[in-house]
Structure 1
Amino acid sequence: MSMMPQTRSDSIISTTRRDELMRDRGDHGIALLTTMIILLLLSAMVVGVSWLVLDDQKLGGNNTDRQRAFYGAEAGMESLTASLENLFAANYAPDKTAINNLLTTPGPPSNIPGVQYIAAGSSSPGSGYQISFTPSPSNANLPASSFGTISSGTYSGLVGLMTPYTLTVTARTTPGSEVKLQRVTQTVGIPIFQFGFFSQTDLAFFAGPNFNFGGRVHTNGNLWLAEGDGSTLTMSQKVTAAGEIISKNLENGWLTSSSYTGTVNITTGSGVADLTSQSPSQSVLGNSNYYGNIGSYDTTFKSMANSVYNNHIAVAETGVRPLNVSIATPAIGGQPIDQIRRPQHNEDTTNSAKLAERYYSQTSLRVLLSDYDSTGSCAGSDISSTSATDLPNLIKIDYQSKTSPGTWVDVTKEILNLGYTGRNINPQGSSTAPPALAALPGSQINAQGPTAHAGVSTVNCNDPSTNAVIRLARVRDNPSFWSSGNHCGATPGQHGTDYWPNVLFDTREALLRDTALGGTQLTLAGAMHYVELDVTNLAKWFSGTIGTNGTNVLATNGFSIYFSDRRGEVKDPSPPTSVATTAALTGGFGYEDFVNPASAGGCTNGTLDQGEDVEGDYVNGVDPSPALRTYGGTPAFDNAGIASIVAPLTGLTPSTVVSNNPNCTAAGKTWPYAIANNAQDLRENPPLLFRRALKLVHGDTISLGTCNSVPCGLAVISENPVYVQSCYNNPGKCNMSSLSWSSTSVGSSVIADAVMLLSDSWNDVNSFAFPYDLGNRNSQTTTYRMAVMAGKGFPFRQPSGTAQDFGTDGGVHNFLRYLENWGGQTLYYEGSIASMYYSHQEVGVYKCCNTVYSPPNRGYQFDTNFLTPSLLPPLTPMLRTINTIGFTQMMLPTQ
């Protein structure tokens, strides 16, 4: 086979092919490199994404764990705050031990998985749960307190006694996340007289004329708001109710659409708005409300209160909580009325905390009157011998030493040696020496005095005991030492029979309905026997002007006196548990069967009706053991009102002294509303029932010197009702024709079972001569400047056929009670009003306006001086609450 020779063209082709092959080989290398680079980049991205996912998972787990720690700390903080609040509710002044006990009992929450309360740098469970406070300079076991303005919360703007605490909670999770929270909390004591009106129970406004008192309004119950047709109620400060606000009914169920369509203006912060024009106009549904029976909450009320009133009105559902006094806390176990009650026997050992909270233990001076525990006999008397047998320990007067607080020094003889008898208030124009019976006047007689102010005439009889601090009796109308030149008989009496008890007739207490009995038909219940307290002479004794020991009394921020008269009281066989577990004296009248709605005359029915359970214990407004009490309703005489009297020359003659009540004849003669056959019998004899009171006289000027650079104030506290006669604490401006208050008045208060205001024209005799005739019980414009804490009646549903406001407690405009015809006269009052309990002694239901009183022009106003703590009356009660003022998350290096 022969070979063909290679031509030039073949050579060229071979070279080209080789170049192509070489070029293809280079391209393949680049592709491989590119692929490898791409794979490397993809691998890097996968690794990065993987790391990112893993990191996110780790971070997400950390965030979740931190959130668990935060919420655990928050839960612990709320638990610790609640524990402190509960402690404060039970114990108003906890010490260091009680506070620290909260860290373990109840201690931190134990039901949050994976969370422990451990402080930084510690491994001890619970160490992250802490409360700290600044110790008091005087006692390191107690937190320091100081007065200051409340900066936030429902009661912001008021001045309170504040005790700050710092609460710290550190929460740590099992993986190690940690959160520390810190909160500043205050327990606050608010002086009760910084409110215009405060009520422990339901509070009702429904005045007929315009009413504008001023000051804040708070009730621990429901608030009933209405105003008479064509008039305006003005509430210029914040209004709060721990219950509800009702505007479509009075508390007795009466529809406000009839007779009560007036304006109810409440502050918005920058002005006022009429509540009755809002939608809704109340916080509950419906218009069939009455005390003890109200509709369910209207959920639209909150937005209305916010948008219209800027939350200047508030109810339970918008955050309002009750404010309580210390004695009513569970740790002490008392009721608000226990503040004015006498203590039980051995209370100093069985419940010393309760004893310490009673005014009985706190005041400068005490006046106590009592019976012996059992009936005794009197061997000597003014009739059978020349001297009477000494009966010791029926009256005791003692003061608390300022050099040794808690030590009481007896001054009974010192006070009584200043005198204890009062003037004749009904001098006779001719001789009516005993045994003749002095006549009652045929028309209103002049005021009984002791002071005479412009435009007022008195009977012009002088006191036989001009320096007396208390007066236990007075010269009778017709004393044996009467003379034509001395009708008053103010010279020293020669016989005990020349003196009669101090007694007035209270028409509100006397009647079951606002219907007059016959002019001479006076019930036993209406005769109120009182001790007269001369306020001017009391101030003189405290100042050392009279007597010897007044300057030794305890008077830290002013002076005070406690009064209790239990003569004639009957033991309650089944007392409230807050008092005793066996039969005991409770300070109550002991007769509650006075509503009886089915009876036109209010006659007894023997069953417990709404409005009658006034002496029971109440927890959140409810008596857990309601009972009808009538133990005090039997008058202290024998034979159903038949007495044997001495008739000259004929020996003993039976005489009927008590008759049936013509409106309730079936009730007989042995109940409080039986009729005394002669009005003078009630005036000159001891009471047949527990009807005791205190009357304040001569109180227009109170001069006690200076306490802590301000004028010393005066607090008068009485377990019994108090009647304030004539002007009080307004020197030189008693019967002013226009509103003008003296600059020399002092911080004063009257705290009692009930408070009745008697004008400058008052005379006890007129109340007996004209018990149901307002035309002969005319008043005089009078001024009163004092804070008042007292009781009121128990509201009930309006019985058929009664007045539209019968069944109410009278409303705030009638909380201060009246017994006179005030028509055309003005009653000026400046102060603060606190309704803390139901009256236990003056239990007569509210009634107006046929027999008891006709209303005054009310010149009422809140005393803004009380917003300054140093100007408050001495021993002003304190209300307790808790306020949170700060919240912080602490950032630590360990976090």
Structure 2
Amino acid sequence: MKSRKHETRGFTLITALLLLAVMSAISIGLLMMVNTEQKVGGGDAQNNLAFHNAEGAAEKMSSDLENTFRNAQAPLPSDICAVSNFPPNGPAGVTYTTYTVAPLDANGQPYCQGNALRASAWGQIASGPNTGLYAQLVPISMQTTVTQSGGQQVSMMRQAQVALIPVFQFGVFSDSDLGFYSSPNLDFAGRVHTNGDLYLGVANCCTVTFHDKLTAYGNVVRTVLPNGLAAAANNDNGQVLIPKATQGCDLPARPSCRAIAQNEGSVVGAGGKPPQSAQNNSWQNISLGVSYYNGMIKDANYGNPGGTGAVNLSLPFVTGTNFAYQIIRRPPAGESPNSPLGQSRLYNQAQVRVLLSDDPTEMLSNPNNTDGQTIRLANIGPYAYGVQTSIPAGLPGLGTGGKYVTYFATASTAMPDATQFATAGYACGGVPNNPGAILPTGGGGLDWPFAPIASTVPNTLPGNAPIITNNPTLGLTVAPPQAGTGPAATQCTNGNPPVCPANDPRPNMIPWTNVPFPINEANPAASPAQTTWNLLDGFLRVEALENGNWVGVTTEWLGLGFARGVEAPTVPGGGGAGSNPVNPDAILILQKVADRNGNDAIDAARSPFYTGNRSPYTCFVGKPPELLVDSQTTSPYFGDSYWGGVTAPYNVQSNTQFNWYPINFYDAREGEPRDTNFGNNSCTPNGVMNAVEVDVGNLKRWLLGTTGQTGTLVNFTNQNGYVVYFSDRRGMLPNPNAGNVKTGDSGLEDSINAASAPGTPDGALEPINNGKPFSPEDVNQNKVLDNFGSINEGLGFGYLAAPLYQVNNSVNRGVLRNGTPDPYLTVVGRMQQCSLASKNWVSSARHVLKLVDGSLGNVPLRPDNNQGGFTVGSENPVYIQGDYNSNANDPIWNGGADANGTAHAGVLADAVTVLSNNWADVNSLWSTPTQAQGNRPAATTYYRAAIAAGKNMSFPFPNWENANDYAFGTDGGVHNFIRFLEDWQTTGSTLNYEGSLVSLFYSTYNTGAFKCCTYSVYQPPTRNYVFDPDFTTPQGLPPGTPLFRDVDILSYRQTLTSRTY
């Protein structure tokens, strides 16, 4: 027993030691495990942190890349690579070992050198809401490697695609709210996008059919109109068909097409930013659901929750201070053409510029230019005795050895009015000091019974282009004395030939003269300079991009001519029906033959030519002729350059200078604040527009070298054709709200005045409506009322109703009489004879561009391959008269291919109005200017061109307005984006249009609000609107097409390849 105890001694100790060892091992294991877990967990945390830092760096790259393209229209490779220099300001211990952004070349290799993005190519956008659109694609590689302080490292790669999207790829685009409402049937292919709210509706009788995606960065509105009226109660409850898939609404089957219900907008009521009603809880399913629209209609709720994926599309220079209308403006002095804004201006993209101003220094990029190509449009200086121009065939050679010359239009208070003389009367001129007097035999009156008056406000008239011919002091004219102060009128004797009275108390009264005797009249003015005045004036400069340099071609263009007959030409060149009978090669048309009685023709019958016994002058039996014939050329259109010599008796001007009128017409939308038919010949100065016409067909002939000398040198490769830029700032005043410089604004914003039934201007901006950032009158968005443009309105339009011929009762003083400028004359009374405005000088910013003779085959193309296109960019409104780039025989209207001679055409302007083949300027001024029906009949006409222009802002429907005019307060909708001035409805005429409708900005020159449907402005056409499928491919786009920027991320991955650094 004792032995056994000895053998077991220490067992407990050993067991305890073993347990201790086991426990120690477990403790050590646990400790090691905990340490390992801590290390592993810490490493994972650091790796996760590195991953997120890398992800954040990639996001910053994407944002900086997008900003690069927003700030420069055509960034260089170095601009893109410069994004690599601005990594994030990461937390302490984080190092951005790699941070590179670069474009990729054709081999997929990054590069940062060169003057252009070499690898950019046209292709279809692969992702995002603009998937499928063709765009100029710029592949971008982005790489970042982030290293943490503990050595953890994550690399991230992104592949991006910068899509430069042509705006004319859209069938309809609007930078602001876009409205389809209360319209007739519309079936318009092409995508639709707005950066504002999309109003969807159509007249109760009708259907609007879409064929492609609809996107709105704002909301989709179904239940109200833009002026706040209920849609269902105001003829806006027709059928709206939207495809559920591509081509889903195409005929004949319409395989996947659905009519949107009234309650299927993205908001339940009014839109706005922010929306003025709640979000529709079902919208996500309506927009994206397969059983509804499957993503074919999307919104974004202005980037707030509730949107379904639309994006904002804007021009690259648009910011809070630079607005899209700058694309058509002249650049201010000192702006670099390579700046982000400068690159986008059509002025800098053009190959031909046509510029007019009252101050010649405003038109020169180099004011010290002395090339002699800035020409004053008056019979002074080098053109005192006319301009040698193109002439119609068949004119005999001049016996003097001189050349035929055309004079700039001039007016005189000594010219009798051919409309006011009785057929049986005998007249020796007019009635000095009493322009409205009646001759004893029943004749009387003067064609220009009054000279323009001076403005009472300093610095509001053309400081360097006075209206008076040959006035060395550059002074202004004076108004004729008050009526009734001059000697009584006398009458030619009734004989054959009649004899002018020998006892006429008026010395040297020679209103109808036999050149070379000068045309002067001693009364009523004190000097010859105060009896005549220029009807055009201002300075003209035309320049072209030839061999990389801008070259003045003004004298060359004026040498081709600048005058036409009573109607605009429809055929280029001369010799045929529709051609220009005066200057057959003229490109720029500034004046037309004086149609003194407004019958749209020149009376051929003239009375015999006699000489009186006081001094050589002409008496006429009965009614005087409309045009004076030059005694040396026997032509009413031309003088003889021989008589323009420097020594007496040859330094005399031709009386043909009085045979011209400016090209004026009445735009009732601009002239009338309300849709009111006054039933007479009255109008307002705000609606009298003076046009410069571009004969498109003759421009093409010049570019081809058929006329002139230098047209073939004009660049046509930069833009795959030609861009012509136009700006007429005559009459424009400095903007006191923009540094007192001319900005391109007309200064006529006081145009809505919804609180006043007659539309009387109140001198204040309209209230800002809920959900809107600007007043509806603040079209240039500077938050100030710009009404400075009325100060010099109507200076050439004479006087209001009695007392006549008193300066204080002139049209201009009527505009300014009540303190607040009123260009509509709503208080003091209207201009009673709008026909007088057809003949007189337009003194204010009421100057426009008219495109004529642009039918199929007349629009310029590239001369090397007969392809490409032609775009007109204009700071002023553009009026397209007659067929343009198409005609009735064009096969496209029956589904055929492009005809030979079709150009890819575009027009970008402040506003665009179409005038039919039947338009005549005289009809808008001589009949009833406020009644389209019976006075301005339209005819079916064809237009094919992309149009980018402005419109007016919407505002609440006034409570005084007639319920039938429920569209008042809107911008007119898509169907009225192209503006009209004629009666298309009564004549059953169709407006055929193929192109793209783009509203890029609000109109800042033509500021008149849309008005309908008393039909003072127009009666609607049958609309045949078609999207031009040529615009879906790069080669089919017009030159100078603006490009939007959209950055899309194509791929995103972590690089797991081990780094060697």
- TM-score interval for Structure 1 and Structure 2 normalised by the shorter chain: 0.7 to 0.9
Which of 366, 391, 397 matches 2:542?
397
Say which one has the larger Rg: 1
Q: Pick the aligned partner of 1:590 from 728, 734, 747.
A: 747
**SS of match in other structure, 1:538:** helix
1:547 aligns with 2:686: no
* Cα distance between partner residues in 1 of 2:775 and 2:194: 15
Partner of 1:469: 587
- Taking the TM superposition and a 5 Å limit, the aligned residue runs for 1:210-249 are 210-249=185-224
1:551 CA drift (Å): 0.8
Q: Does structure 1 conserve the Cα–Cα contact (< 8 Å) formed by 2:800 and 2:814?
A: no
The question of 1:68 aligning with 2:39 is answered: no
Shift of 1:303: 3.7
Q: Describe the shift of the 1:148–1:775 C-alpha distance in structure 2 as closer, same or farther (beyond 3 A).
A: same
Q: What does residue 368 of structure 1 align with? A: 355
In the alignment, structure 1 residue 162 sits paired with structure 2 residue 137: yes
Tell me if the contact between 1:96 and 1:143 (Cα under 8 Å) persists in the aligned partners: yes
The equivalent of 1:747 in structure 2 is 904
Cα distance change of structure 1 residues 391 and 34 upon mapping to structure 2, 3 Å threshold: closer
Aligned-partner Cα distance in 2 for 1:94–1:787: 26
Secondary structure, counterpart of 1:522 in structure 2 = coil
Quote the residue 1:14 is aligned against.
none
**Structure 2 CA distance for partners of 1:533 and 1:84, relative to 1, 3 Å:** same
Once the two structures are TM-superposed, the CA of residue 721 in structure 1 deviates from its matched residue by 0.8
Residue number in structure 2 paired with 1:719: 875
2:729 aligns with 566
Name which of 815, 826, 837 aligns with 2:1001: 837
Cα deviation 1:527-566 (Å, max 9, x = unaligned): 1110111111111111111111111111111012111111
Alpha-carbon distance change, 382 to 882 in structure 1, aligned in 2, over 3 angstroms: farther
SS of residue in 2 equivalent to 1:184: strand
Within the candidate set 216, 234, 251, 2:226 is matched to 251
Report the Cα distance in structure 2 between the residues aligned to 1:240 and 1:212, rounded to whole angstroms.
17
**What is the DSSP-based 3-state SS (H/G/I as helix, E as strand, rest coil) of the residue aligned with 2:325?**
helix
Say if 2:318 is the partner of 1:328: yes
Q: For the Cα contact (< 8 Å) 1:85–1:882, is it kept in 2?
A: yes
Question: Counterpart in 1 of 2:101?
Answer: 131
- Change beyond 3 A, Cα 1:665–1:682: same
Please list the CA deviations of residues 42-80 of structure 1 after superposition, one character each: whole Å capped at 9, or x if unmatched.
988777676556544443333333222212211221122
1:302 maps to 284
Q: Does the CA-based 8 Å contact 1:828-1:859 persist in structure 2? A: yes
Work out the CA distance in 1 between the residues paired with 2:26 and 2:865. Answer: 84
Aligned-partner Cα distance in 1 for 2:751–2:1000: 22
Residue in 1 that maps onto 2:677: 516
| Partner Cα separation in structure 1 for residue 535 and residue 989 of structure 2 | 48
Matched residue, 1:693 = 848
Answer whether contact 1:423 1:488 (CA < 8 A) is retained: no
Task: Give the 3-state SS of the residue equivalent to 2:605 in structure 1.
Answer: coil
* Post-superposition CA distance 1:678-703 (Å, at most 9, x none): 22211000114321111111111235
Larger mean Cα displacement after TM superposition, 516-525 or 80-89: 80-89
Cα distance, 1:230 vs. partner? 3.8
In the TM superposition, residue 484 of structure 1 has moved relative to its aligned partner by: 3.2
> Matched residue of 1:72: which SS?
helix
**Which one is further off, 25-34 or 841-850?**
25-34
Q: Deviations over 1:432-459 (max 9, x none)?
A: xxxxxxxxxxxxxxxx65359xxxxx99
Q: Say whether the 8 Å CA contact 2:749–2:779 is kept in structure 1.
A: no
2:28 and 2:906 map into 1 onto residues whose CA distance is 84
Alpha-carbon distance in structure 1 between the residues aligned to 2:340 and 2:206: 48
In structure 1, distance between residues paired with 2:6 and 2:257: 97
Q: Identity, % of aligned pairs? A: 32
**Contact 1:791/1:836, CA 8 A, preserved across alignment:** yes
Q: What are the within-5 Å matches in structure 2 for residues 361-760 of structure 1?
A: 361-372=348-359, 374=463, 376=466, 378-379=469-470, 383=520, 384=528, 394-401=539-546, 403-404=547-548, 407-425=549-567, 450=570, 462-478=580-596, 483-484=604-605, 492-493=637-638, 494-556=655-717, 557-575=720-738, 582-610=739-767, 625-636=782-793, 642=799, 658=811, 671-673=823-825, 675-700=830-855, 701-702=857-858, 704-706=860-862, 711-730=867-886, 733=889, 742-744=898-900, 745-760=902-917
Name the CA distance, whole Å, in 2 between partners of 1:477 and 1:734.
Answer: 34
* Structure 1: distance between partners of 2:737 and 2:159: 47
* AA aligned opposite 2:952: G
Q: Which amino acid aligns with 2:883?
A: C
Is the CA contact (8 Å cut-off) linking 2:796 and 2:840 kept in structure 1? no
Deviation at 1:315, TM superposition (A): 2.0
CA separation in 1, counterparts of 2:818 and 2:885? 48
1:785–1:138 CA distance, 2 compared to 1 (3 A): farther
The residue correspondences of 1:782-801 to structure 2 (distance < 5 A) are: 782-801=941-960
Contact conserved, 1:369 with 1:566, CA < 8 A, in 2?
A: yes
**Which of 94, 114, 130 does residue 140 from structure 1 map onto?**
114
Structure 1 spans left out of the alignment, 5+ residues: 1-16, 118-125, 426-447, 453-457, 576-581
Amino acid at match of 1:722: V
Return closer, same or farther for 1:736/1:459 CA change in 2, 3 Å cut-off: farther
Number of residue pairs matched by the alignment: 814
Q: Is the 8 Å Cα contact of residues 99 and 131 (structure 1) preserved in structure 2?
A: yes
Post-superposition CA distance 1:595-622 (Å, at most 9, x none): 111211111222211599xxx9999x99
Pick from 152, 162, 165 the counterpart of residue 127 of structure 2.
Answer: 152
Counterparts in 2 of 1:670 and 1:143: CA distance versus 1, 3 Å = closer
**Structure 2 CA distance for aligned equivalents of residues 141 and 760 of structure 1:** 47
**1:260: Cα distance to partner?**
1.1
For the residues of structure 2 that align with 1:397 and 1:683, how far apart are their CA atoms? Answer: 26
Cα offsets for 1:235-264 (capped at 9, x unmatched): 221112222221111111111121211222
1-structure distance, mates of 2:954, 2:1057: 59
3-state DSSP class of the match of 2:1045?
Answer: strand
TM-score, structure 1 as length reference: 0.82
Q: How many angstroms apart in 1 are the aligned matches of 2:29 and 2:858?
A: 90
Within 5 Å, give how 1:2-401 maps onto structure 2. Answer: 55-105=36-86, 107-111=87-91, 116-117=94-95, 126-134=96-104, 140=114, 142-144=116-118, 145-258=120-233, 259-269=235-245, 271=248, 274=258, 276-277=260-261, 281-285=264-268, 287-289=269-271, 294-298=276-280, 300-307=282-289, 308-316=292-300, 317-329=307-319, 334-348=322-336, 353-372=340-359, 374=463, 376=466, 378-379=469-470, 383=520, 384=528, 394-401=539-546
SS of the residue 1:729 aligns to: coil
Partner-residue secondary structure (3-state), 2:980: coil
3-state SS of paired residue (2:173): strand
Q: Give the distance between the partners of 2:582 and 2:780, measured in 1 at CA.
A: 49
Amino acid at match of 1:140: G
Give the letter aligned to residue 690 of structure 1.
A
Q: Give the superposed CA RMSD.
A: 4.2
Secondary structure, in 3 states, of the residue corresponding to 2:994?
strand
* AA aligned opposite 1:679: C
Residue 441 of structure 1 corresponds to none
Give the letter aligned to residue 60 of structure 1.
Answer: G
CA distances 1:103-148 after superposition (whole Å, capped 9, x unpaired): 443x22423x65x23xxxxxxxx33222122369996265432222
1:355, distance to aligned residue in structure 2 (A): 3.4
1:708 & 1:146 partners in 2: Cα distance? 23
Deviation digits for residues 791-849 of structure 1, max 9, x if unmatched? 11111111113221100000111000111111122111110111111111211110123
Using the alignment, how far apart are the partners of 2:887 and 2:784 within structure 1?
Answer: 47
Partner-residue secondary structure (3-state), 2:848? strand
User: What is the rounded CA distance, in whole Å, between the counterparts of 1:306 and 1:223 in structure 2?
Assistant: 17
| Structure 1 Cα separation of the partners of residues 52 and 275 of structure 2 | 41
Equivalent residue letter for 2:240:
V
- The corresponding residue for 1:771 is 929
